[in-house]
Amino acid sequence: MSNTGGGRPELDLRLFLKELSSRKRLVSPSSMLKLEFQVARFIQEAQPSPILVNSEKGPIVSNLLASREALYLALNVSSDAEAYLQMSRALASPRKIELLETPSMASLGDDLYKLPIPKFFELDGGHYITAGIFVAKECDGNAINASIHRAMLLDENHLAVRLVPRHLYHMFTKAEKKRRPLRAAILIGAPPIFYLTAASSPPYGVYEAEVANSLAGGSLAATVDLLEGVPLPVPSEYVILGEFLLDRRAKEGPFVDILGTYDEVREEPVFKVHEILARPSPMFYSILPSGEEHILLMGFPREVTIWESVSKVVPRVHRVRLPVSGGGWLYAVVSIDKNVDGDAKNAILAAFAAHPSLKLVVVVDGDVNPDNPREVEWAIATRMQPDEDVIILRGVRGSSLDPSADQKSLMTSKMGIDATRPLGKPDWMFKRARIPEARQ
């Protein structure tokens, strides 16, 4: 196929992997690994380094977006502020895809057993596709949606797909009410920049590939030959074509969610495979559930929404972090500058409004590194008074991923901690002692 992306790593998984390899980040084992557990263990032990392994059914890549360095390579930025701003602008101004190509892909038939699909954890319900971007068009409508969903292998041409009640779920239920199957494509190993936008949540009707094209400055290419004229970003390592079946459900799970705990088994829609297409010598992209790549890919778009929201109520937001310790989902640290003491509490409320799944927010000053738990805890210990600087919200909706929340009503309580320096006291009382560089 043509050199899609013009040599830009964010537009081609193979070029992205090559760039990471040139930075001496790529890790590969010397021997073949089994799809059951061995691949998962290698991914886990290598993170955040990208990996390329050989399995009994073909090569697998993972940890491609498991570090800030890789994330910012995909966005072509060099700082947190630039990353937040670029993503925010692209979400607000999607761009139609004008570069159309007919990719060179071979048909593998409809047999999923030909693919190197791993089994990750000991109690998993089966082998799982975890880096599949599902693309579908609304039945009798124009809306197109792209989102990442886990899919459990049922047999050679059926998958049980976890559909949370968001956009693809809406499309599926609408099609089912009209008694029409919902056709869809599953892209595995798509352009890295598309993964970042497929993990985001723009309003219904905003096509995530067009957000990616905006980030790429109009350079994202697509094919319209595979799914009813829907632009599917290319190159992709695999494209699985098929449909969600009417009135068919199957048990999906157990499966490990982003917090590293097992999700419950549910009856989920069944996807029937019609055809599997692949690039020459394809590489299967897999994301370790609850791994650093899963956490960063899922958490970064929420960092952007928190940054946008908090920026409206304080003078400056330095960084937003959804740490691994909170599964990249339930806990946030926000680094700000403030003008008055009430700014930090406004930042707490803005963060909760931006990401309703949050259960804990800690706001710190700009001199505290939110990536360093020791510094964050130091700020809590030295700059916070419990009776003045802790906000408790009761009877609010939380996240289904929180095992401590009511799993039926999702009702929970939330806590915000203002760990910023009280402005009424002298600066010197809160400065950390530093040892200067030795003079020559």
Give which of 215, 228, 237 is closest to 60, Cα–Cα.
237
Spatial separation of the C-alpha atoms in residues 145 and 175, rounded to whole Å: 14
Spatial separation of the C-alpha atoms in residues 54 and 31, rounded to whole Å: 7
Q: State which H helix or E strand residue 147 sits in.
A: strand 144-148
User: 257 catalytic, yes or no?
Assistant: yes
Q: Which two tokens stand for residue 157?
A: 């041409």
Catalytic residue among 257, 263, 343, 402: 257
Half-sphere exposure of 402 (CA within 13 A, CB side): 22
Domain parsing of the chain, residue ranges: 9-280, 293-429
Q: State which H helix or E strand residue 234 sits in.
A: strand 232-234
Alpha helices in 221-262 (DSSP H): none
Amino acid at 357: S
Q: State which H helix or E strand residue 255 sits in.
A: strand 255-256
Is the separation of the CB atoms in 406 and 395 below 8 Å? Answer: no
4-39 b/e with 16+ CB inside 10 Å = b? bbeebbbbbbbbbbebbeeeebbbeeeeebebeebb
Q: What integer pLDDT is reported at residue 6 of this predicted model?
A: 55
Give which of 173, 96, 115, 165 is closest to 139, Cα–Cα.
173
Q: Label residue 430 exposed, middle or buried (CB < 10 Å: 0-12, 13-18, 19+).
A: middle
Domain 9-280 has CATH 2.30.110.10: yes
Half-sphere exposure of 347 (CA within 13 A, CB side): 33
For 293-429, the fitting CATH number among 3.90.226.10, 3.90.1640.30, 3.40.50.300, 3.40.1670.10 is 3.40.1670.10
pLDDT of the chain, 440 residues: tens digit per residue? 344 445 899 999 999 999 999 988 899 999 999 999 999 999 999 999 999 999 999 999 999 999 999 999 999 999 999 999 999 999 999 999 999 999 999 999 999 999 999 999 999 999 999 999 999 999 988 999 999 999 999 999 999 999 998 999 999 999 999 999 999 999 999 999 999 999 998 999 999 999 999 999 999 999 999 999 999 999 999 999 999 999 999 999 999 999 899 988 999 999 999 999 999 999 999 999 999 999 999 999 999 999 999 999 999 999 999 999 898 999 999 999 999 999 999 999 999 999 999 999 999 999 999 999 999 999 999 999 999 999 999 989 888 888 888 777 888 999 999 999 999 888 888 888 888 887 76
What is the value of pTM for the model shown? 0.92
